Structure 1
């Protein structure tokens, strides 16, 4: 009886080896990405710590709005005084931060233009209202008249992604806190490229509730990176053991392959 020669061990490792290399590249890529995210998060935390506390300053003057960049100004504590254009109040759908042990509440963030004494406009995120309080008629005390002072943090326009629905101004359906888009819908000009996130100072009638931004950011990216790199190392170990067995088969395995 003619016996078929067993394939060389190297040949039996080609497909598993290629699959291992692909998986290893993905795992290392994920670990590296988490390290990059960690560096970004640490920079963001340092930015918040250095800007968000202490005495409130003035916003960047209108003459510099064309050169404004979030990396130089976001999260800075500021104070602005002007007149709220309540007729242009814009409810933007969002979730309130979850309380410890609770869940996030659905509702709206009220973006309202504040006209400064010189006529320029800064958009204010006055805070959060639940779904049932979207209509100003349900909270008649919530729209102060006359001169108003707001203290809060400078924020960059909210970034949209593939999951952000398109705004529908005619239906008052907004999904991104974007000052320029809101200003365009209300035919406003001389509008700042940033907005101010109001602090937790109580509003008349209790709504909206400001101070919703979370300044304590979790930073678990090193833990995630170690996990991905650990899986990658385990994968290398498993493949090494598999390859060693191919070159050093047990006697029973050698006899079976020779039949």
Structure 2
């Protein structure tokens, strides 16, 4: 006797699980981009307010009760004491699409539980575009006005540089110099990024759009598989 009906098609459990996992990942990426957007908007607002903010003495800002990470983009002034030792290595960076090298120096100061802070003095214009420049020595900083940045946000080898000062208590911050007195020869202050983009909303919509597209593809495959 011949078969009069086809065997029932089973529900694609494996495909459904894979789709749910991919959908969750895409939605998670979209949510992460929205969180980054809120963070970036806060940074941009603080940078806008920074344009007219007066400099505060570092010893009044960086106290024992203050969390260093809360001082990001705070404008301060400080009179640096001598630390001594060998010149610190230049820091690689990119500015306006060009490879640049930034000068950094230690600054001795008594501020809260710390007795030193790292100063990013700016870009060395003569080294722009070079791949591996030779070391440069500059006069030690004296009076510096600039903005604070948590050292972990800057990346690179800045935190590793602080390991040279085992006998001191360096602050986990970098003072990005806007102005020095006297001004160091051969260095151009560049404390803030030349441009900060905020396209996280576009990225979030892209991830959410991919998640919705995935659902449509899954629904179409499911309909073709289970239709009579």
Q: TM-score, normalised by structure 1?
A: 0.69
Are 2:79 and 2:143, in contact at CA under 8 Å, matched by a contact in 1? yes
Structure of higher CA gyration radius: 1
Counting matched residue pairs gives 219
2:6 equivalent in structure 1? 6
In structure 2, relative to structure 1, the CA distance for the partners of 1:96 and 1:191 (3 Å cut) is: same
Deviation (angstroms), 1:92? 4.6
- The answer for the alignment partner of 2:57 in structure 1 is 58
- Report deviation, 1:95: 1.4
Say if 2:151 is the partner of 1:157. Answer: yes
Structure 1 pair 245–192 and aligned structure 2 pair: CA distance change class (3 A): closer
CA distance in 2, matches of 1:8, 1:51: 68
Gaps of 5+ in 1: 137-141, 165-174, 250-259
Q: When you count helix as a share of all residues, which structure comes out higher? A: 1
Question: Residue 96 of structure 1 contacts residue 128 of structure 1 at CA under 8 Å; is this kept in 2?
Answer: no
**Hey, what's the Cα distance between the residues in 1 that align with 2:90 and 2:2?**
78
Residue 169 of structure 1 is matched in structure 2 by: none
Corresponding residue number in structure 1 for 2:216? 237
Pairs within 5 Å for 1:14-163? 14-51=13-50, 53-61=52-60, 64=63, 66-85=64-83, 87-97=85-95, 99=96, 103-105=97-99, 107=101, 109-116=102-109, 120-129=115-124, 130=127, 131-136=132-137, 142-143=138-139, 148-158=142-152
* CA shift in 2, pair 1:241/1:53, >3 Å: same
Q: What are structure 2's unaligned runs of at least 5 residues?
A: none
Q: Secondary structure at the match of 2:217?
A: helix
Counterparts of 1:187 and 1:241, CA distance in 2:
64
Flag the structure with higher strand content.
Answer: 2
Looking at structure 2, the residues matched to 92 and 48 of structure 1 have their Cα atoms a distance apart, in angstroms, of: 26
Question: How far apart are residue 151 of structure 1 and its match?
Answer: 1.3
Across the aligned residues of Structure 1 and Structure 2, the Cα RMSD in angstroms comes to 3.3
Structure 2 equivalent of residue 195 of structure 1: 174
TM-score (norm 2): 0.77
Give the equivalent residue in structure 1 for 2:203. Answer: 224
Check whether the contact 2:147–2:191 (CA below 8 A) recurs between aligned residues: no
CA distance in 2, matches of 1:183, 1:16: 52
- CA drift of 1:187 comes to 4.8
What's the CA shift string for 1:150-172, capped at 9, x where partnerless?
11111212359xxx8xxxxxxxx
Give the Cα separation in 2 of the matches to 1:63 and 1:232. Answer: 45
CA contact (8 A) 1:88 1:112 kept: no
> Is contact 1:123–1:194 with CA below 8 Å preserved after alignment?
yes
Contact 1:84–1:114 (CA<8 Å) still a contact in 2? yes
* Cα-to-partner distance string for 1:83-117 (whole Å, 9 max, x where unaligned): 454644311532132x1xxx34153x332122348
